[in-house]
Amino acid sequence: MDQTANIINPDSNMPISTGRPSNTLSTSKPPEQARSFPSSGFTALEADRLVEEEELPDYQAHRFYPVHLGEDGAISNDYWTLFVLTGPDGEHVVLVFEAAQMSLRDMKLVFQPEGFDERLVRGAITELLQALDFLHTHAEAVHTDAKEMTSPVPRKLTATRTIYLSRLMRPKEGPMLLSDFGEARIGPGPHGGDIMPLEYRAPETLLYIGWGYPVDIWSVGLTAWDLLEPKKLFTARDEDGDLYDAAHLAQLIAALGPPPPEFLAKNAERRADFWDEHGNWLGLAPIPHSRTMEALETRLGNKSGFLRFIRRALSWMPEKRATAKELLKDPWLTGEEV
């Protein structure tokens, strides 16, 4: 559990799961009684194996509450509960959701590796944007296990904490849930610090400038792309498979064109690492000119509406990205494109 205040998720490619919606932060139902969980019968993972939050590039153990299944907490029977736990490294804000099902990312990996049907993608992105519009407009936040009693999940035991593996649940029909609020920030920003998985990082995070709600819109664009297409738009890797910021920026240039001068002027010191004073690319990584959106989009007969939608979400300048409310009216999303 992350120590950061929780509510939009720049830490991810917008995890969405199937499940029932929640519309309350509090509940009148009494908390459940503490349960007795099994202390054996599970697989103990290797001590040197990185799992779950340890796989994050900027993982710091003190930011995660050392939870132990079965310890007392203000867990209710309702869909969404918020409370605070105090651990050895301070207070941790906790959001508890109803157990979700398989994420769309996992569903695609297992069932549709070549990409979902366009209609499903439209529906999923619509529900995601509705959730983000609520968070940005009303909550003023930047987003960044059912079977444990009889079948304990594998876990990693260390001297200071236990890390439990997540459990996949079979998908069922139902509305989408926006989840994984561990890196969320309260307020419109600007906020600072590294966020988002490497290949999903928005340009402002790569240039080390303050970020806010528009990073979520960037994530929406990449989520829509990933759900529809078999290959990622950005990998942040060069042709040899090496992962680094220059390779990521080179891919952004190939897909979006060169950054405008006003974007580079936001951090002249960081700009100088990759561009000269006139905005010319220094060539720290080759620009993969073949990685245009038009070339990488391979599934749609008429791709113009989809690519217009993506370009409204993916722009160098954060302030020029459409808002969640504006994207909800986009012709591609509403099915009204000509």
Domains of the chain: 16-230+298-334 (1.10.510.10)
CB-facing half-sphere around the CA of 178: CA atoms within 13 A: 31
Query: Cα Rg for the chain, rounded, in angstroms?
Result: 21
pLDDT per residue, tens digit, the chain (338 aa), is: 333 322 333 344 555 554 443 333 344 455 556 667 777 788 888 988 998 888 876 688 888 888 877 665 544 445 567 778 888 888 888 877 776 777 888 888 888 999 999 999 999 999 999 989 988 887 666 665 223 345 678 899 888 888 888 776 666 777 777 777 777 777 777 888 877 878 899 999 999 999 999 999 999 999 999 999 999 999 999 999 999 999 999 999 999 999 999 999 999 999 999 999 999 999 999 999 999 999 999 999 999 999 999 999 999 999 999 999 999 999 999 988 64
- Distance, CA of 325 to CA of 24 (rounded, Å): 21
pLDDT at residue number 16: 54
Strands 176-178 and 90-97: unpaired
- Residue 66 dihedral angles phi and psi, to the nearest 5°: -80, 75
Q: Write the single-letter amino acid at 318.
A: P
What is the pLDDT at residue 183? 73
Residue with tokens 């205040």: 5
Q: What is the sign, positive or negative, of the torsion defined by CA atoms of 67, 71, 76, 82?
A: negative
CA dist 34 and 32 (Å) reads 6
The set of catalytic residues is 145
Half-sphere exposure in the Cβ direction for 163 (13 Å, CA): 18
Give me the pLDDT at residue 54, please. 84
Q: Which helix (H) or strand (E) holds 264?
A: helix 261-264
- Please give the C-alpha separations between residue 266 and each of 25, 192, 326, in angstroms, as whole numbers: 38, 14, 26
